[in-house]
Chains A and B, each alone.
Chain A
Amino acid sequence: AAARDQIQVSGSSTVLPYATIVAEAFGENTDFPTPVVESGGSSAGLKKFCEGVGENTIDIANASRPIKDSEKEACKAAGVTEIMEVRIGYDGIVFASDINGNDFAFTAADWFNALAAEVVQDGKIVANPYTKWSEIRADLPDQEILAFVPGTKHGTREVFEEKVIAAGCEETGAAEVFTAEKGEDDGEAACMSLRTDGKSVDIDGDYTETLARIQSAPNGIGVFGLSFYENNTDKLKVATIGGITPSTETIAKGEYPVSRPLFFYVKKQHIGTIPGLKEYVEFFVSDELAGPEGPLAAYGLVSDPELAATQTAVADEATIAQ
């Protein structure tokens, strides 16, 4: 086979849109061919990444979470010993409902009470009794509880559970009761287990599916990525959390609590072999693209306040410890 001349990127579908925007611009503005960007999930991407070194393995894995130790080990075992970690920014996670519906101002506690399998009422653990938002807190609208949350395959789910449900569990004080009654581990698990009576609907598809579900069930509230919401402001109405409206600015400032970092991992061993690899990485994190004024931010990426550090690390080809 002739030597591969285009960069191969794979991984998270959350990072995919940003990667394609960069790849497209990279192809247009340089003499290198446009990188091929696959989607398939962080897991599959990292797995391919750790398959080994050489032309028929990929160069970059996109991930919506940091690489795990077990994955680093697998990488190492396959000879992928030098990995550069690049954090490109943050993905904001927002709650949105049909544009014609009620306005919502949530707290994490509301979400816990609405979706947890068990809640604490009068100091006792009971199966979640709430059917309407107004039952949870009087100033919430009188509307059926129906939430479309990311399925367990999505990284977003983890963030949702940790930063919303678990936080709500703490906030309501349910966490204490759970740990007291069930012990440390089970108590924590009880905090994060969602009700299964159809009020909380898992979505294994993508945000377009969540949107379609909201359109066919207008009293539903969905969990979306910020960028998805920003592209569909004509159909969706976003809810505040703790009084903060999500936006790239509020998230970057740390005011809006629910977000997660996005990464990509570069196989340093391929730099020099695959033409344009280093250039692509540098191009990606350059201020013109990943900065707050760049197209990525315009699309909805919360740009990283520490972008400069990342740029230096990339220039130095700094690898992560394995």
Chain B
Amino acid sequence: MPVSWTILIVLALSGLGYLATRSRAVRLAGGDIRKLHSRPSYYGWNAALLIGVPALFVTAIWRFLWPATSPALISAVALILAAAGLAFALTRTAPDFRARNAVETTVKALLMLCSSIAILTTAGIVLSMLFETGHFFQQYSWTEFFFGTTWSPRFGGGSDLGILPLLWGTLYISVIALAVSVPIGLFAAIYMSEYASGRMRSIAKPMIEVLAGIPTIVYGLFALITVGPMLRDWFAQPLGLGSSGSSVMTAGLVMGIMLIPFVSSLSDDIINAVPQSLRDGALGLGSTRSETIRKVVLPAALPGIVGAILLAASRAIGETMIVVMGAGAAAQMGLNPFEAMTTITVKIVSQLTGDTDFAAPETLVAFALGLTLFTITLGLNIVALYVVRKYREQYE
């Protein structure tokens, strides 16, 4: 893989460039760095960036857009660019050169590039699904898709592919999962950041984070083997709510457990960052700790907490394994939480990994489901953004 070696060489070169320009700058200033416009390391960084950024950028773009090009050519061009960058950086190194500004402009551009990756990803996702979604709607009526209340794909065609039962299942399961994870996560975060000793916090926090790292298949099996039968035997059957081993409740509860660290760890950091002076202010007025937390600390930490909850909600919407094993695969719309239901995400996965004809609506519906889900969550996120804006309390 010569390209990867090229990358390593370019990185080494920019390291060398850093050292060379840095010492050159010091030398030019006659050893008195106060004569320089910027700190010597900025001259070094300037060189490092000039060498590394164009070369790596060109390599990456070229490799990505025209994969067939001979790697040797790419490497050659990259090395030439790197050398040119080094030469340019050396000539530009002079005491009155605004190295810091140059570096900061480049870094800012890089940071901007980083944030544009999110946009590119979105564009990529939409593009990679739009085409197939179009195919789907050529073969299947959009009214039946969006307003149909039956989901039953068949191999031979003639399937009912209404999204509503899936949407309902998605909402139902996510709401239960959040109803479990948000209170538990938030209270855990509050306890860790406001009440617990440093020792307890330093143990409890990483421990709870392990919950986020347990593969979802374990949760799925837990739901299937332990929680499902337990709910069935202890709640559903005694209450006369059916005898399904898999249910919305099972999946929601188990998923809720998985999501606890998403809420607790992120919120804990944010709550911890609220300045102590605000707590002092409230305590000084004679409020209890819990009043301080509820009335002062939490509102001040609200944007971060909402972010954490949104993240948890996002995971809930995107989860597959737990739903498959916990909630079953039956697409239906009902209110009984002890009945089996399923979610959009599960059906995306199962239609994509099933045995149906890949050009048939039964498979293509996965793309339409994906795009619809994407649009719905987009709407929810916009609402969330405005809500946070409205209630945000900026301290200091």
Contact = CB atoms under 8 A, between A and B. Distances in A.
Interface of A: 1-2, 12-14, 40-44, 46-47, 50, 63-65, 68, 70-71, 73-74, 151-155, 157-158, 161, 185, 189, 192-193, 196, 198, 201-205, 209, 212-213, 215-217
Kindly list the 5 A-B residue pairs having the minimum CB-CB distance in the complex, ordered from nearest.
A153-B354, A155-B355, A204-B329, A41-B353, A153-B350
Contacts of A203: 329
Of B340, B350, B359, the most chain A CB neighbours within 10 A belong to B359
Given A196-B332, A198-B242, A216 B228 contact: yes
A43 B350 contact: no
Interface stretch (B9-17, B121-129, B154-162, B384-392): B154-162
A43 B354 CA distance: 6
Nearest to B228: A216
B224 A44 contact: no
A41 B225 contact: no
B337 to A, nearest CB: 14
Contacts of B339: 198
B351 A153 contact: yes
A79 B350 CA distance: 28
Interface of B: 1, 152-156, 158, 221, 224-225, 228-229, 242-246, 324-325, 328-330, 332, 339-340, 342, 346, 350-360, 362-363
B353 A40 contact: yes
Contact of B355 (A41, A204, A217): A41
Given A198-B339, A201-B330, A204-B329, A216 B355 contact: no
Contact of B359 (A12, A74, A158): A74
Contact of A43 (B156, B229, B324, B363): B363
Contacts of A14: 355
B45 to A, nearest CB: 33
Of the listed residues A2, A158, A193, A202, the one surrounded by the most CB atoms of chain B closer than 10 A to its CB is: A202
A217 B350 contact: no
B1 A1 contact: yes
Contact of B330 (A41, A47, A196, A212): A196
A70 B152 contact: no
Given A152-B354, A153-B354, A158-B355, 10 more contacts: A43-B352, A44-B353, A64-B355, A68-B357, A74-B358, A153-B356, A157-B155, A202-B328, A202-B329, A215-B225
Interface core residue of B155, B244, B339, B358 (most chain A CB under 10 Å): B358
A65 B355 contact: yes
B245 A213 contact: yes
A151 B353 contact: no
Contact of B325 (A1, A44, A196, A205): A205
Nearest to A144: B243
B227 to A, nearest CB: 10
A70 B1 CA distance: 38
A216 B224 contact: yes
Contacts of B325: 205, 209
Contact of A44 (B155, B228, B332, B352): B352
B357 A70 contact: yes
Nearest to A39: B353
B229 A216 contact: yes
Nearest to B244: A198
Nearest to A216: B229
Given A152-B153, A193-B152, A43 B355 contact: yes
A142 to B, nearest CB: 17
B243 A198 contact: yes
Contacts of A64: 355
A193 B151 CA distance: 12
B242 A43 contact: no
B229 to A, nearest CB: 4
Contacts of A13: 353
B351 A68 contact: no
B378 to A, nearest CB: 27
Nearest to B356: A43
B324 A204 contact: yes
B225 A201 contact: no
Contact of B324 (A73, A158, A205): A205
Contacts of A161: 154-155
A72 B284 CA distance: 77
Given A41-B353, A43-B358, A216 B245 contact: yes
A220 to B, nearest CB: 9
B247 to A, nearest CB: 10
Contacts of B246: 201, 213
Nearest to B155: A158
A204 to B, nearest CB: 4
A68 B359 contact: yes
A18 to B, nearest CB: 16
A154 B354 contact: yes
B360 A70 contact: yes
B355 A212 contact: no
A270 B235 CA distance: 58
A202 B330 contact: yes
A33 B229 CA distance: 46
A201 B228 contact: no
Contacts of B154: 152, 161, 192
A71 B350 contact: no
A322 B359 CA distance: 16
A154 B389 CA distance: 47
Given A70-B360, A202-B329, A205-B324, A43 B340 contact: no
A70 B139 CA distance: 13
A13 B98 CA distance: 62
Contact of A12 (B1, B355, B362): B355
A1 B68 CA distance: 9
B66 to A, nearest CB: 13
Contacts of B362: 152
